[in-house]
Amino acid sequence: MPFRRLVAALPEPGKRAVLIALVFGLGMAFFATPRFNISLTAMNTVTRETQAAEALMTDVWGASIFNKIYMLTEAASPLGLQAAGDRLLPALAADTAAGRLDVGFLPAMIFRERP
C-alpha cells in the first residue's frame, strides 16, 4: 500500500528528524505570504439569503436601523393605543431629559389625550 511506504520512509525520531523538520519549516516560512482578513462580514457564517435580506433591510431603512431600539405597543382599538401612548409619554420624556435616551418619538407627542 502506498501509505505504508510513505510512513516507512519517514525518518525515525532523533536529531536528524528535528533537523529535517527545522529546514522544512524555514523553507516554508520563506515562501509564506500571510494575509489577515479581519472583515467580520467575510468571516460570517450566515447564509447568503440572510445576508441578502439584511442588505435589503439596510437599503430600505438605512444603516442606522440596527443601532436603534424600537418599542411597539398594541391595543384593541385606536383609542386604547392612544391611551397607552399617553401613559408611556412621561417615562419617555423623563428618560430623554435624563440623557438615557438620545431621541424618542410617540404619536402621543402629536395627538394629545382628549380631555
pTM of the model: 0.40
Note down pLDDT in tens along the chain; length 115 residues.
677 877 777 767 778 778 888 898 898 888 888 877 676 666 667 788 988 988 898 888 887 777 777 778 888 998 888 888 888 888 888 888 888 877 777 666 666 665 5
> Of 63, 86, 62, 82, which Cα lies nearest the Cα of 74?
82
The x, y and z cell numbers of residue 53, run together, are 435580506
